[in-house]
Amino acid sequence: MPHTLPSDPHGFRRRGVLFVLSSPSGAGKSTIARRLLADEHELEMSVSVTTRSMRPGEVDGKDYHFTDLEGFRDMVAKDEFLEWAHVFNHRYGTPRAQVEEMLAAGKDVLFDIDWQGAQQLFQIAGGDVVRVFIFPPSMEELHRRLTSRGTDSTEVIEARMSRAANEVSHWDGYDYVLVNDDVDSCIRGVKTILAAERLKRSRQTGLIGFIRRLTR
Ligand code: 5GP
């Protein structure tokens, strides 16, 4: 997947960062993603397609593209997903075209996807993906957060708790790990990772020309 980013003050370009944030639901990932997007203007969100129903407050096209099983299967058949997976008895997928457009426009792309998606994306992008996992401070705290959200039934919450334990067990498939016991410091950590990844030598594509000019 070729991607080049024309955002450098010194005349070299850099490839956009594919930035994956995963965590059990309720660990604060959406808040972190929202704050990152507000502060980081070169970063855009990959909006997934899902077959689950809309929660109160969610907006179609912003939080997710909501579709039915038939619509989802149709997209799979047309190879329109970069990756997709079953999560909580529903299907979630990353539309390919949107990501390619963002990279072509010189953006970094933020993915809020699970460990299965992170794994698939890693393979598709030949390892050129930054994978960040956010832990909740404890499973008790996660339960409290899921309950206080008030959007899901007890059965759904229990299912999410067991799914969370499964999600946490895949922590070793990530490049970076953070604990969200304080949202501000967690966001600072995530921003530091993004800043460092943007500066990686391997992401700078016009470096040779720059070095030549520098040493002329
Ligand atoms: P929720 O239903 O709470 O919004 O999301 C449930 C889980 O699905 C979260 O862990 C989220 O990261 C994951 N998810 C959302 N979109 C995608 C996607 O496009 N692909 C994959 N693999 N997982 C996704």
Ligand 1 pocket, 87 CB below 6 A?
Answer: yes
Which of 55, 63, 83, 87 for a ligand 1 pocket mutation test, highest count of atoms within 8 Å of Cβ? 87
The mean pLDDT of 195-204, rounded to a whole number, is 92
Report the distance separating Cα 133 and Cα 18, nearest Å.
14
CB 52 within 8 A of CB 163: no
The pLDDT tens digits of the residues spanning 27-45 come to 889 899 999 999 999 999 9
Q: E-assigned strands of the chain?
A: 18-22, 43-45, 49-50, 65-66, 81-87, 90-95, 108-112, 130-135, 176-179
What is the pLDDT at residue 211?
84
> Cα separations (Å) of 91 from 46, 47, 68, 155, 156?
16, 14, 9, 19, 16
Ligand 1 atom closest to Cα of 120? Answer: 22
Half-sphere exposure of 114 (CA within 13 A, CB side): 21
Closest of 144, 186, 139, 181 to residue 163, by C-alpha: 139
What is the pLDDT at residue 54?
95
Lowest mean pLDDT among 6-20, 146-160, 171-185: 6-20
